[in-house]
Amino acid sequence: MNIYFLIRFFIIVGILAYLLYFIFTTKNLRFLFAKRKQKKDCILIQDGKINLIELLNQDYSLRTLMRELHQANVKHLEEVAVAILKKDKTLSIILKNKPTPYQETLVIEGNIVFDTLVKIGKNEQWLNDILKEKNLTLKDIFLAYYRKEQLVIICND
């Protein structure tokens, strides 16, 4: 009697396993479950980093994500502050603020602003070389700023 119980048990477990396999591998049924799963907006990219787990949970392909970013003229992931996948499967992209070139102050009253030098990818030697070419010293400079790949210098009177 125990052997018949075990045979029935394994047959039922096998049938259940087959049904579960069929349900989760059938594309149409998987699509229905995925549609029900997303009840709120979700963040796919934050601070330039893709949330792969959320991407997979939402059944949203990486190819589709990259195409959407390309259509939004995003060249690098680092430009994206947040990308939100909405309920209707549209992607909302919020870009990081880019500093304007007019805000890159290098020298104020003869004092170098080192943070700005690092930000624009230059060093103190580069600045000193330009000042030498123009026969200037740091003490001669009232204000110097970097705009459109050029150094603009305003001297003391």
For residue 136 the two structure tokens come to 């200037």
46-95, pLDDT tens digit by residue? 888 888 888 888 888 888 888 898 899 888 888 888 898 988 888 989 88
Q: Determine the topology of domain 101-155 in CATH.
A: CRO Repressor (3.30.240)
Ordered by start, the domain boundaries in the chain are 38-97, 101-155
Rg over alpha carbons for the chain, rounded to the nearest Å, is 30
pTM of the model: 0.42
Pick left, alpha or beta for residue 62 (phi over 0 → left; psi -120 to 50 → alpha; otherwise beta): alpha
- Name the architecture of domain 38-97: 2-Layer Sandwich (3.30)
Give dist(CA 6, CA 67) in Å, integer.
Answer: 53
Do 38-97 and 101-155 come out as alike in CATH topology?
yes
Contact 86, 38 (CB under 8 A): no
